[in-house]
Structure 1
Amino acid sequence: MASSVSDAYRECRALAQSHYENFPVASHLLPRRMRDPVAAVYVFARRADDLADEGTKSDETRLRALDAMATDLDATAAGRPPDDALWRALADAIPRYSLPLSPFHDLLSAFRQDVTQHRFNTFDDLRDYARRSADPVGRLLLHLADQPTPGNISDSDRICTGLQLINFLQDLHQDFIERDRLYIPRADLLAFGVTEQRLRSGPGDADIDALLAHQIERAGAWLYAGRHLPGRLPGRFGLEIRLIVRGGWRIVERLRATKPGAPFARPRLGPADRAWIARGLLPGAVLGGVQPPREVAASESVE
């Protein structure tokens, strides 16, 4: 039980740091005033994700638990938080930073979808999922930084969707082979003449390589399209987002190099990659000098 708001944030920070993934909860670049509420946002997303994915509970039980989180969120926003560190922290953060509730509810909507839907017919369907599973995090960060302008939100959505698509490609083995979830649209499989059985069989061939190259370039296009956002963000927060964008782009480059012939390979970043990412702290264009994705010219997927 958290006895105070500071205790609640302390618990959220500990949880966030113990489960750190692709989320800026452990970065010392973040302005100090943002670290506690960012940790609370992460714990909210992590808890909902775990309810959707972890353990052996039935789908019906998972959906009820996610619905209960939505009820607790609304109660927290109304000043009646449950006696739990997460909700006590959000009871402070939501009014303090004027956080909208829609991004939180969008996240819960995406996690409900995770429980019941494991395939997507078109890229528009997949984009709608990313709009609710990834974009809300960026929007909440912009509100915490007091930078939620329309232009910033648009570029943040592009970056977050790009990072989500990149993550799908990194986790192809875990999602498809281990969990029977496929985040490549059926329309793309059909267009490239690849069946799920053929994709699952292991080593790639020319058609699978072309299919995955298309996914990589499209993911990169979304990330690349949002590249001007960090330059509009002030101070340490802007530097943090620069590193996130460069880190995502470095994975795009590694995916380009590793996926041909090895569809389930997961790229690893080494010291040289981390040094390249860190150069984003220097003045200059965030992605200056990189090979742009082919999808940018066609504008097939970037709004």
Structure 2
Amino acid sequence: MSIDHYENFPVASVLLPARFRPAVRSLYAFARGADDLADEGDADRDTRLAALQAWRSAIQDLGSHKAVRTPLSAADQAMFQRLGETIHEHALPIQPFLDLLSAFIQDLDVPHYHDELALMDYCSRSANPVGRLMLHLFGATSAQDLAESDAICSGLQRVNFCQDVAIDQAKGRCYIPLDCLARHELTLSGLDDLCNSRPAQVPAPWQAALQDQIQVARHLLLSGSPLAWRLPGRFGLELRLVVHGGLRILEKLAQGQYNPYANRPILTPRDSFLLCWRAFCRPCPRPTTALPPHHDT
């Protein structure tokens, strides 16, 4: 089991009450499908953009309480039919769906982010909407709930960025802010060299840059973690497992000498026992360390 933005989506988990599982499946199908339109296969940029714009039109139709009028494949029509039923049954807001699509459309043209502010704006649309939809599904939508959910979701995505540097570079993207690379005298071409060579040991400047990114991800996860202990029942337990899974990946990055090129960390069955123990018995501490310089989340 790896930590990935949508693999962390609690897809019909046995931990979730059965009555919510169809809704969660329909939300996942949308999020995963839209992400795949932007990333998977060999379609060109214009084809991907047209497909994502068609999905945006379909979501806008659902938001206007209309039948989907946009021409779609039979499979997509069926997916949007189920999604529309979920939105209607649970009174879900439309904006999170549009935010997700805006982030995936942005992926087609924006391969790098200059600074922390730009990257967190991207996370606010590519990650946070998933948590917000789940909170609406479970009726936990106070300002504190939403803010802590945003921190968890952005933190999980930042974990994914650290974990999948090589995978992202193969797609022509880098989610390590360019000003962070510059502070450590690194360049995108230098990272490409690391990706191509997969060295057994990465240079100290890269280790320092990844340590900065790990510190941001951990700070976000810990800042949002009270939500996972405050939410009741199975949903709270599910969220605690997800938060501790993200923190465990960060631990493994450190144990692997900050080298995701040669040692991409994943969660194993052995980790499952550790995560269960932590989810039941070990509340996450509040952040005790300041963010690195030049970071303001």
Give the structure-2-normalised TM-score.
0.88
Unaligned runs of 5+ in 2: 1-5
Tell me which residue corresponds to 2:103. Answer: 110
Q: Matches of 1:151 and 1:239 in 2, distance apart? A: 18
Tell me which residue corresponds to 2:3. Answer: none
Call closer, same or farther: CA 1:98–1:259 in 2, change over 3 Å.
farther
Of 59, 70, 80, 2:67 maps to 80
Asked whether the equivalents of residues 79 and 91 of structure 1 are also in contact (C-alpha less than 8 Å), the reply is no
How far residue 280 of structure 1 moved from its aligned partner, in angstroms, is 3.7
For 1:241, give the aligned amino acid.
Answer: L
How many residues are matched? Answer: 279
Asked whether the equivalents of residues 172 and 264 of structure 1 are also in contact (C-alpha less than 8 Å), the reply is no
1:185-224, aligned counterparts within 5 Å? 185-202=177-194, 203=199, 204-224=202-222
Tell me which residue corresponds to 1:301. Answer: 296
Q: Matches of 2:231 and 2:150 in 1, distance apart? A: 15
Tell me which residue corresponds to 2:164. Answer: 171
Q: Matches of 1:237 and 1:140 in 2, distance apart? A: 13
Of 220, 224, 227, 2:225 maps to 227
In structure 1, the residue corresponding to 2:108 is in which secondary structure? helix
In structure 2, the residue corresponding to 1:269 is in which secondary structure? coil
How far residue 272 of structure 1 moved from its aligned partner, in angstroms, is 3.4
How far residue 221 of structure 1 moved from its aligned partner, in angstroms, is 0.9
In structure 2, the residue corresponding to 1:278 is in which secondary structure? helix
Call closer, same or farther: CA 1:59–1:299 in 2, change over 3 Å.
closer
Call closer, same or farther: CA 1:225–1:212 in 2, change over 3 Å.
same
Q: Matches of 1:229 and 1:299 in 2, distance apart? A: 27
Q: Matches of 1:164 and 1:74 in 2, distance apart? A: 26
In structure 2, the residue corresponding to 1:96 is in which secondary structure? helix
Tell me which residue corresponds to 1:124. Answer: 117
Q: Matches of 1:30 and 1:190 in 2, distance apart? A: 44
1:257-276, aligned counterparts within 5 Å? 257-260=255-258, 263-276=261-274
Of 83, 90, 93, 1:97 maps to 90
What whole-Å deviation, never above 9, does each CA across 1:137-162 have from its counterpart, x for those lacking one? 00000000011111000000000000
Structure with higher RCO (Cα < 8 A, 6+ apart): 2
Give the structure-1-normalised TM-score.
0.86
Identity %, equivalent residues = 41
Tell me which residue corresponds to 1:7. Answer: none
Asked whether the equivalents of residues 221 and 247 of structure 2 are also in contact (C-alpha less than 8 Å), the reply is yes
Asked whether the equivalents of residues 215 and 292 of structure 2 are also in contact (C-alpha less than 8 Å), the reply is no
**Structure 1 range deviating more: 75-84 or 88-97:** 75-84
CA RMSD of aligned residues (A): 2.1
Of 34, 53, 73, 1:48 maps to 34
How far residue 259 of structure 1 moved from its aligned partner, in angstroms, is 3.9
Asked whether the equivalents of residues 212 and 263 of structure 1 are also in contact (C-alpha less than 8 Å), the reply is no
Tell me which residue corresponds to 1:241. Answer: 239
Unaligned runs of 5+ in 1: 1-19
In structure 2, the residue corresponding to 1:100 is in which secondary structure? coil
Call closer, same or farther: CA 1:29–1:299 in 2, change over 3 Å.
farther
Call closer, same or farther: CA 1:238–1:199 in 2, change over 3 Å.
same
How far residue 108 of structure 1 moved from its aligned partner, in angstroms, is 0.2
Call closer, same or farther: CA 1:264–1:180 in 2, change over 3 Å.
farther
